[in-house]
Amino acid sequence: IGVGLVGFGLFFVLFGMLLYFDSVLLAFGNILFLFGLVFIIGFRRTFTFFFQRTKMKGTSFFFGGVVIVLLRWPLLGMLLEAYGFITLFR
């Protein structure tokens, strides 16, 4: 279930970017991606991964970008998410 949710999340994010940053598709993709991550590695491990002291900068940018996309500013939100994603997973 988790891999499917992550796959659909990535599909909706890419499809939302192809359709000139459609905010509904991007928001749906972000939510599916996060729920898929929780299903794959579990709630506690996801929480401890995102909220480590050394990764707080990336976490704040990533979740800030998700919130900005949900508030219908898709381009700015995706830029913030991309920076947060790169900072989290480097």
> Which residues have a Cβ under 8 Å from the Cβ of 55 and sit 6 or more positions away?
49, 87, 88
pTM of the model: 0.89
Residues 72 and 40 in one domain: no
How high is the pLDDT of residue 44? Answer: 96
Give the integer Cα–Cα distance in Å for 45 and 47.
5
- Residue 80's identity, in one-letter code, is L
Owning domain of residue 66: 52-89
Give the integer Cα–Cα distance in Å for 14 and 11.
5
Q: Structural domain tally of the chain?
A: 2
Q: What is the pLDDT of residues 16-38, one digit of tens each?
A: 999 999 999 999 999 999 999 99
Give the integer Cα–Cα distance in Å for 49 and 5.
19
Residues 1 and 42 in one domain: yes
| pLDDT confidence band for 90 (50 / 70 / 90) | confident
Residues 61 and 31 in one domain: no
